[in-house]
A = this chain, B = another copy of it.
Amino acid sequence: MSPDQDADDPSAPPATPTVTPKAAYHHGDLRAQLIAAVRELVETHGPDGFSVAEAARRAGVSSAAPYKHFKDRPEILRGVVSEAMDRLRAAMEAGAAAHPRASLEAVAAVGLAYVEFARGEPGVFRLVFGLTEGHENAPDLLAKGEGCFGVVVQAVAACLGLLPGDPDVQRRAYMLWSFVHGHSFLTIDMKHKVASAEIDDWDYLMRISRAMLAPAAQA
């Protein structure tokens, strides 16, 4: 079995009593070091411009060592994506927490965290949402995606004074998300100068949030 994905789970793990912090036998948590190396490579050389061999080289191990921790090349990428999604979600939650609950600012802050993540780590961001072969066999990644969406839903629901399960909330949250997602992508792609230069993100997001949460948006 080899519990691969045990990060720092605050929730008490009942199944595995032994492995709590990390695996540090020979090398000292090679797994995390590999993920860090791959993240760096993806960021500098593009999503497909990395190699397992190069990551191993950077970690100071042989080119076969990574396969003791990951089954595949894709599995390493999935590891990077998983870790990145944790950080993305944390950033979104922090954004929301920096403003009063049930405020338009909280909603906009969630979106801003999203955009800033994309701008800060464009390669990883692209990897997260460009992964196709990983998602099929990776329900945990799907779950984390749902978790991120949940943050948006929470903020929207609070702002509207409705329950998160409300279809209207879901719909508005989805619209908001697709907006922010598209803006993020266009920004890092620099597909148009407007994206990177002439747009004040906060203004933009506040305007969008207001429009999407207005009663008229339901129609």
Residue positions of A touching B, CB distance < 8 A: 46-49, 123, 126, 129-130, 132-133, 135, 142, 145-146, 149, 170-171, 174-175, 177-186, 189-192, 194-195, 199, 204, 207-208, 210-212, 216-217, 219
Contact = CB atoms under 8 A, between A and B. Distances in A.
B178 A47 contact: no
A174 B142 CA distance: 29
Contacts of A180: 182
Main secondary structure of the interface of A (DSSP, over half): helix
Contact of A186 (B171, B177, B216): B177
30 contacts: A46-B132, A46-B133, A47-B48, A47-B132, A48-B48, A49-B133, A126-B130, A129-B185, A129-B189, A129-B191, A130-B130, A135-B189, A135-B190, A142-B191, A171-B194, A174-B195, A175-B204, A178-B186, A179-B179, A179-B182, A181-B181, A181-B182, A181-B185, A181-B186, A182-B182, A182-B184, A182-B185, A207-B217, A207-B219, A211-B211
Tallying the copies of this chain within the complex gives: 2
Contacts of A179: 175, 178-179, 182
A177 B182 contact: yes
